[in-house]
Structure 1
Amino acid sequence: MAAPPQSCCQASKEGCVCAAQARCSCGKEQALHCNCTKAETENDMSGPRCSCRSRPAGQCTCERAMSENQLISGDACPCGKRGADSCTCEKAVDSGNLPGEIDFTYKA
């Protein structure tokens, strides 16, 4: 099994518990597998995300929803949706390539 993402709640060594619990806003399907009328927006991965990256920031539906959905107090990440030390959007400092990683999608 692959290691859970660094941002995962780390509650289990079996994988990201939060991502397994996350549901789409209608509650019928797992997050990112929505098939209702909101599917287009529910399955979109762009923008700031909750810590397991399954739901938009501020719209967490897993057991961490109480802490994940709180308003930011103190320093915020560049998008302003999460704390500075837990940014999950495209503006995150760590969102680029890892050292030694090659981006094969680069267009000349």
Structure 2
Amino acid sequence: MTPTHAVPVDCCRRSGETCACAAEARCSCGKNAAMHCTCERSSAENKLGGATCSCGQRPALDCTCSRAETENKKPAETCECGKRPKNHCTCDGTETASAHETDFTTK
């Protein structure tokens, strides 16, 4: 049986079955593929928490693939985390709230 790789829901799907932008994504130093960084920033680069870009390999608004120009613009109408388009949230409720927000859920 051939293993299958999950393609992110928001992937560009330029290459059909695979996520081309995920294959293009690099760590911020540019040496290695995203999530495979070996430079001094590897402890932060090799983990994700909260919203991600469409391919799921980089933090939202910090995309490094060929879609970076589009991905790194803050959308006009955002999801709850404020980093992704309203109908394409990738934070799954894990993104921390802004320092300028008041949490009324625990009061």
* TM-score class, shorter: 0.7 to 0.9
AA matched with 1:79 = C
> SS at the partner of 2:35?
coil
**Which of 39, 61, 65 matches 1:36?**
39
CA distance in structure 2 between the partners assigned to 1:49 and 1:2 by the alignment = 18
1:5, distance to aligned residue in structure 2 (A): 2.0
1:14, distance to aligned residue in structure 2 (A): 4.2
Identity among equivalent pairs (%):
49
Structure (1 or 2) with the greater helix fraction? 1
AA matched with 2:71 = E
Q: Which has the higher contact order (CA 8 A, sep 6+)?
A: 2
Alignment of 1:20-31 (within 5 A): 20-31=23-34
Per the alignment, residue 57 of structure 1 pairs with 60
Q: Which runs of 4+ in 1 moved over 6 A?
A: none
CA distance in structure 2 between the partners assigned to 1:40 and 1:2 by the alignment = 24
| Structure 2: gaps (5+ residues) | 95-107
CA distance in structure 2 between the partners assigned to 1:36 and 1:2 by the alignment = 27
Question: How many residue pairs get matched?
Answer: 91
Shifted more, 22-31 versus 83-92: the winner is 83-92
TM-score (normalizing by structure 2): 0.79
Taking only aligned residues, the RMSD between alpha carbons, in angstroms, comes to 1.5
AA matched with 1:6 = V
TM-score (normalizing by structure 1): 0.78
Per the alignment, residue 92 of structure 2 pairs with 90
